[in-house]
Amino acid sequence: MVIRMSEKIRTYSELIKLPTFMERFNYLSLKGIVAEETFGFDRYLNQKFYRSSEWRRLRNKIIVRDNGCDLGVAGYDIFEKIIIHHMNPLRLNDIVNSTDFLMNPEYLICVRPITHNAIHYGDESLLMENEVVERKPNDTCPWRK
C-alpha cells in the first residue's frame, strides 16, 4: 500500500463508529481540496476502470453492505443514482498500479450525488435534511387523481 504522509487516511471502520450523518460527513469532508494530482489527459484510465466488470461487482457489494443509504446511515435511503465514493481521493498511480485504495471496501462508501459534491467541495449547504415524504395513493401516477 502506498503511504500518503500529507493526508489523513479515511477508513470505513472508523467512519461507521460515528452515529450521525453530519459526523460522517465532517469526517469525509475534503474542505474544498480535491486531490493534488488530477487525471488530466489520463482521465480515460479512470473512466475505463469505472466501466470494468470487476468494479461493477464491487460496487454492488458496497451498495448491499451500506443498505443503499447515504454515508451508510440508516434512514438516509438513496432514491437516485448511487455513487460509490473513494474515501481517499484517487491518484493516477492508484489506477495504474492497482493500489489498495482502488478496490478495498475499507476505503469505499455509498453517497448521493449531492453528498459527493459537498464532500469534495466542502459545501455542507448542499446537503438537505433527510426529508420524510408523506405518500398518498396514486401519487406516483399523476393521471390517476
Residue 99 lies in a domain: yes
Is 49 domain-assigned? Answer: yes
Residue 92, in any domain of the structure: yes
The helices-and-strands tally (H runs, E runs) of the chain is: 7, 2
Q: What is the tens place of the pLDDT at every residue in 7-23?
A: 689 999 999 999 999 99
Measured CA to CA, the distance from residue 94 to residue 122 in angstroms comes to 23
Per-residue model confidence (pLDDT) at position 61: 98
Please indicate, yes or no, if residue 18 is contained in any of the structural domains: no
> Is pLDDT larger for residue 134 or for residue 68?
68
- Which pLDDT tens digit goes with each residue over 76-98? 999 999 999 999 988 888 888 88
Please count the structural domains in the chain: 1
Range of the domain at 118: 28-126
Copy the grid coordinates of residue 49.
476502470
Task: Judge whether 140 lies within some domain.
Answer: no
> Of 3-7, 55-59, 100-104, which gets the smallest average pLDDT?
3-7
pLDDT of residue 7: 67
Cβ neighbours for 2, distance < 8 A, ≥ 6 positions apart: 93, 94, 97, 99, 100, 101
Residue 132 domain flag: no
Residue 86 domain-assigned (yes or no): yes
Q: What does pTM read for this prediction? A: 0.79
Would you say residue 74 lies in a domain?
yes
